[in-house]
Structure 1
């Protein structure tokens, strides 16, 4: 049985690995390496418990650091794992430092690289995620794109071999996990009523590392006419304290909660009146659940969600950001743009092309 090392380390990757791993392990020997990029228990360990993912074979425990230091530490430690395990392929997801480190380690050792969620582009090189995804795509052997747009992006960069449009594994995960979420939780557990609150997640460095932008975002949330539930990311919490912005949350409609599990999160998303975020994954989840999304960025990798009207890009420094969020617009129903929920099966089926000459 061929051995494949899967490298993960951040919250979105744990979600993506679940549906793929369920199919992959029927045909291959999978070794899971968790870099520890997300080290909070609610943001990492709980995923393996809740989503029926096999426990990692390796926990590298890298934790937080500057991008260069974190990526370098991961590269060194993943290389050691690959030397010991001698896999036939390395599988990476998305666009994190874990993604790039896993791909670089495999490339240096001439091990085929499988990139799930290839071809996404924000065209903003200031985003570390953009650098990670571009570099990973250019050294990958198999590239599994979630949309036609992603395939087109790769083609424009001269990447045409080994490219497959399979749909989005996040949609696979949503179909499976929203039922689990509804079985285990209800919105009343949070003291909320359906469609009577906004849900917000803010964590990207371009928003949290700029005091003026973060202040404008928090003021906008406090000026909405309904409750706002804010699961507070550790980075955002540190920056709010550093900038002295905690007073904005006092006696306001913003209800800060600790980071929640993935199943709790998608239930909160499903029942929200709208979602205000700077997360890539949450934008898609909002679309899957047909909840209006307001993305506090100047660009998005998921242009399809904007083009169809379910996602609105809002610059974080918009003077009257709350008004822009409250402005309603018609959102027609459209068929799902991210596949048929069988992306994982298509990925595993295509992996065998790596060894077609054997």
Structure 2
């Protein structure tokens, strides 16, 4: 009888365990990383334009530093421990460059109204847990309290990159000669800045004249066509930032043509709706500008050609051992 009771008890225990698991003991699955860009807005709190601006700013900052690689995730509710979940998400996504452990995940749960900045071990060398707490409390949460998600995420992203790039140590007391040397250095820097500004203005005028010549040629070839002042200025700015044909343009066009022929999706760096492409003439630029004014009226967004960045924040990074800060709003 005792053995039978023990067997019955074990069966009931097993059934209870299965029942509890089925009734919510599970854990929210980690979503796949974004197919393009560095932002996954599962909570649907960002507009398409908000996401485009965030992705563009992350790409631009990635191109100038390898101190951090930031990704953003919003989600409407998570079952399970929030910090464990965000840490596993950052690891699963591979945020950061492989071998550098420089990934940072900004995560927001809009249902529980909690935040988490998850920082990989390599990034913690310049962006400490105290820095993460300061950004969470002073930048992210105040905006999120009023449901200004785009502003909060944009400002937090900028603050993180600023911290990574702007670390400085307090200066020591300087003597008379040291102060004079400092003034001399500052004077030299100001002089060099003046030279840079003058060269910039010269190049700007030269490229604007080139753009105006291209517009004039277009008007000669298209009698009756008109160019609004805003369009002229947008093309001037575009031509200033894209003065010459890139060296890989032939290869990029070959890939685009092959994708069209095979009915395949364009690689993001070849897609004129994702990255700014080179337009050799004003006429070639016009339809690109009409489709994506933001990308084709300024510096735009480019695939990185340097060693500082791959553009994306997903480079097989790891090393998320618990650094960062959690908050609520």
Structure number with higher relative contact order (C-alpha < 8 Å, ≥ 6 residues apart): 2
More strand by share: 1
Q: What TM-score do you get using the length of structure 1 for normalisation?
A: 0.25
More helix by share: 2
Q: Larger radius of gyration, structure 1 or 2?
A: 2
Q: What TM-score do you get using the length of structure 2 for normalisation?
A: 0.26
